[in-house]
């Protein structure tokens, strides 16, 4: 793995270890109202992630990067609850799982949607707005390798973030914790590994011959910057 990538991941470990919000989650120090404030912001990020996946998929398709497009399609289908035959299973869709999870912490879909759509951008949504803006800038590059590099980083780091959520809400059972547990088990082990293989093939396809070329590294760094900005902002709102 490229030295820069290793450095970014080590830096990210330091960021998460020093994150006061994640530590408060680990130790179950958040009040119900604080969990709801975090939930409004995090739900919006989840919606943005699905749009990001869709946009990156379209970029890969337009560039003729078939292996990358295939993996991104599989990841998107997993989010949407679509099986390999193209059949939609609403009970497998991550949005269904999110509603169950956030409902368990007292946040309804309508509350989250109303907050996200509020033109005044309430404080609980501001951290997500910062993050979503930075992710939109990544998509605006119209470069599938930059976008895929960013997605690889996000799929790699999400389990660490949600493991703190799992610890802080350990009293919840299934199906309420299903959204959290699925991401912890599958994002890094399957989605990130699939993307890493696809990027290897895609970079070779473009003749660069490296797993992590400068465009992919750019995506990784920009996604890390976006998530760090989100954590710094959401801490100020929740804590």
Lowest pLDDT segment from 27-41, 53-67, 198-212, 222-236:
198-212
Question: What is the distance between the alpha carbons of residues 48 and 140, in angstroms, rounded to a whole number?
Answer: 14
pLDDT tens for each residue of 69-125: 999 999 999 999 999 999 999 999 998 999 999 999 988 877 766 665 554 445 777
Question: What is the distance between the alpha carbons of residues 201 and 229, in angstroms, rounded to a whole number?
Answer: 31
Q: Give this prediction's pTM.
A: 0.88
Residue 4: pLDDT band (50, 70, 90) is: low
How much is the pLDDT for 6?
Answer: 60
How much is the pLDDT for 22?
Answer: 92
pLDDT at 65 over 80: yes
3-state secondary structure 41-66: HHHHHHHHHHHHHHHHHHHHHHHCCH
More confident residue, 225 or 200: 225
pLDDT at 169 over 70: yes
pLDDT at 206 over 60: no
pLDDT tens for each residue of 145-164: 999 999 999 988 888 889 99
How much is the pLDDT for 121?
Answer: 45
Bridge partners of 88? 82
Contacts for 175 with CB less than 8 Å, ≥ 6 apart: 97, 100
Contacts for 78 with CB less than 8 Å, ≥ 6 apart: 94, 186, 191
Question: What is the distance between the alpha carbons of residues 148 and 196, in angstroms, rounded to a whole number?
Answer: 9
pLDDT at 208 over 50: no
How much is the pLDDT for 113?
Answer: 66
Question: What is the distance between the alpha carbons of residues 91 and 27, in angstroms, rounded to a whole number?
Answer: 31
How much is the pLDDT for 104?
Answer: 92
CB atoms within 10 A of CB 55: 19
* Residue-range domains of the chain with CATH: 3-238 (1.20.910.10)
How many Cα neighbours within 13 Å face the side chain of 108? 3
pLDDT tens for each residue of 19-48: 899 999 998 899 999 998 899 888 888 888
Q: What is the length of the chain?
A: 239
pLDDT at 190 over 60: yes
Contact 79, 143 (CB under 8 A): no
Contact 220, 1 (CB under 8 A): no
């Amino acid at each position: 793995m490229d030295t820069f990538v290793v450095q970014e991941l080590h830096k990210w470990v330091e960021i998460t270890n020093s994150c006061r919000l994640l530590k408060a989650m680990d130790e179950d120090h958040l009040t119900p109202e604080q969990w709801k404030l975090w939930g409004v912001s995090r739900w919006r990020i989840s919606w943005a992630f699905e749009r990001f996946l869709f946009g990156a998929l379209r970029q890969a398709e337009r560039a003729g990067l078939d292996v990358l497009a295939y993996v991104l399609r599989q990841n998107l289908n997993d989010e949407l609850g679509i099986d390999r035959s193209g059949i939609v299973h609403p009970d497998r869709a991550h949005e269904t799982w999110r509603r169950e999870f956030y409902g368990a912490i007292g946040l309804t879909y309508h509350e989250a949607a109303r907050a996200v759509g509020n033109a005044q951008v309430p404080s609980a949504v501001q951290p997500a707005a910062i993050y979503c803006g930075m992710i939109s800038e990544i998509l605006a590059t119209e470069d599938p390798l930059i976008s895929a590099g960013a997605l690889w980083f996000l799929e790699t780091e999400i389990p660490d973030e949600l493991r703190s959520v799992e610890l802080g809400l350990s009293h919840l059972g299934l199906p309420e914790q299903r959204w959290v547990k699925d991401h912890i088990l599958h994002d890094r082990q399957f989605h990130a590994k699939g993307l890493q293989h696809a990027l290897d093939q895609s970079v070779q396809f473009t003749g660069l011959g490296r797993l992590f070329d400068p465009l992919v590294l750019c995506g990784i760094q920009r996604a890390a910057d976006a998530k760090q900005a989100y954590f710094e902002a959401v801490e100020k709102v929740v804590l």
